[in-house]
Structure 1
């Protein structure tokens, strides 16, 4: 009789295949409707940016996509299966979530925090790669220099890079990143989004919540625009980042210009 491994390693999805789909998702919390028909799809090999003003439902939708919040209506599927059918350990081998803030009450070192990303692979053949994967994740995020320092002693930007390294170390085919550039300087903003593009080029699906529309235009394959908890536009950057639509959604007039060298849209508020 063949013994089945305690935890199976999922196969990587083929390029272009649908990883995640959320259809007409609704959610009420504390008497407020936070999501009112949000829809998003993510394929292997693409970066999808979730955009919208404060309170649009971006972070809430990301929590629903991660399985941390159960919607009141609509449907969410991960690799063709209802998201709710995944157990916690199995789900952690399919998707990795970077929340807005990483809070730890114990003085773990930066390297120990990154190593936490390997927990879902305990008991699988992938566990043999733990050391190399952690080292690679810290090198990619330029966090190796403070690997031995307590996480609680790091600056906000350093913590953000360590938290991203933990997500990368999890080695899942789907990355969900909530405002990963918020605490970072210009150099490291570009580093984080370059990493997102590299993961997509390697076949992963990446969903990233951003406030900087020009950053989204430069790095995303597709953008999903939310307002009032609902999806109002979904498509290629040039189709969604249009001045009339953005001015209406954000409640402030903007102009959209083409970068003189790359042609990538630049979104500027009118002043």
Structure 2
């Protein structure tokens, strides 16, 4: 009887999130790798319907925090909740139907065709009613990321930027209420950077909680509802971009003097490094 109950639960389709609900939560998360403390008591929430950008210098703990929110790391202290429950309370299949993760790099050992790679995102829904959406979800994800014309090409034959967009399409095809994206714009040209961030905004408007690691502070300011600045494994600031992206904070955290201007049309913060470029 218990086995049947667990099997039925494993095939359940999650209820859609409530707008504004804290869909992913980190509570005093500490992560250590050997003697090194990579995250030190970090707390934040990712509400449904919002884009949360994680920014900070190299080594600040951004990718580690994203992995912790995904439930993929053992914590030295603190806890993570996804969809109102501790991440450790979900089975791997249940967690995969609630959050999708885009790592920094996408590598495949075999030359799968692009459409096959994107279809891998539908694996968590096998045996559930949502399986009927597989073809529709795959086609929509490829269309959104501008990779439909590559459908039959081997994944390794693509450029770095093309592979990055296919990897994002796989994550989008998974159709989860939480998207965790680690530097999805790093290998992309200007047009496709904007495309990816527009997708994030569209998913948030549809109720998804989006957490995205970014190095481009301009993109974070323009597209995120909230920004969390990490520094040396701790949360240095968290809030709306206009409140968080200040010259004093960023100059201290990045150890690079900056000034923050207002975009002449939108008013969003523009972070400009102060440079000594004079000659003579």
Kindly indicate whether the alpha-carbon contact (under 8 Å) linking 1:225 and 1:234 is maintained by their aligned counterparts in 2. Answer: yes
Aligned twin of 1:246:
250
TM-score, normalised by the number of residues in structure 2: 0.95
Matched, 1:149 2:153: yes
Structure 1: segments with no counterpart, 5+ residues:
none
Among candidates 205, 209, 226, match of residue 205 of structure 1: 209
1:37, distance to aligned residue in structure 2 (A): 1.6
TM-score (norm 1): 0.98
In the alignment, the residues of structure 2 paired with residue 154 and residue 43 of structure 1 have an alpha-carbon distance, to the nearest angstrom, of 35
State the match for 2:219 in structure 1. 215
Runs of 4+ in 1 over 3 A off after TM superposition: 1-6
1:5, 1:267 → 2: CA distance? 48
Q: Could you say what the CA RMSD is over the residues aligned between the two structures, in angstroms?
A: 1.4
- Tell me whether 1:123 sits opposite 2:96 in the alignment: no
| C-alpha distance in 1 between matches for 2:197 and 2:246 | 22
The alpha-carbon deviation at position 31 of structure 1 amounts to 2.2
User: Which of 166, 178, 184 is the equivalent residue of 1:180?
Assistant: 184
In structure 2, what is the Cα distance between the partners aligned to 1:206 and 1:91?
Answer: 16
- Corresponding residue of 2:103: 99
Q: 1-side partners of 2:125 and 2:84: how far apart?
A: 22
Verify the 8 A CA contact 1:5 1:124 in the aligned structure 2. Answer: no
Note the C-alpha offset of 1:74: 1.0
Alpha-carbon distance, 1:30 to partner: 2.9
Q: Is 1:264 the counterpart of 2:268 in the alignment?
A: yes
Name the CA distance, whole Å, in 1 between partners of 2:180 and 2:64: 12
Structure 1 partner of 2:61 = 57
1:78: how far off?
Answer: 1.0
Query: CA separation in 2, counterparts of 1:28 and 1:132?
Result: 41
**Given the alignment of the two structures, is residue 19 of structure 1 paired with residue 31 of structure 2, yes or no?**
no
Please point out which of 169, 174, 177 is paired with 1:170. Answer: 174
The answer on whether the counterparts of 1:110 and 1:149 sit within 8 Å (CA) in structure 2 is yes
In structure 1, C-alpha distance between the alignment counterparts of 2:95 and 2:196, rounded to whole Å: 24
Q: Is this contact kept in 2: 1:59–1:178, CA < 8 A?
A: yes
Aligned residues: 271
Quote the Cα distance in structure 2 between the aligned partners of 1:261 and 1:270. Answer: 22
Q: 1:38, CA displacement in angstroms?
A: 1.5
Deviations 1:66-116 (A, max 9, x none): 111121101211122111111100000000000000110101011100000
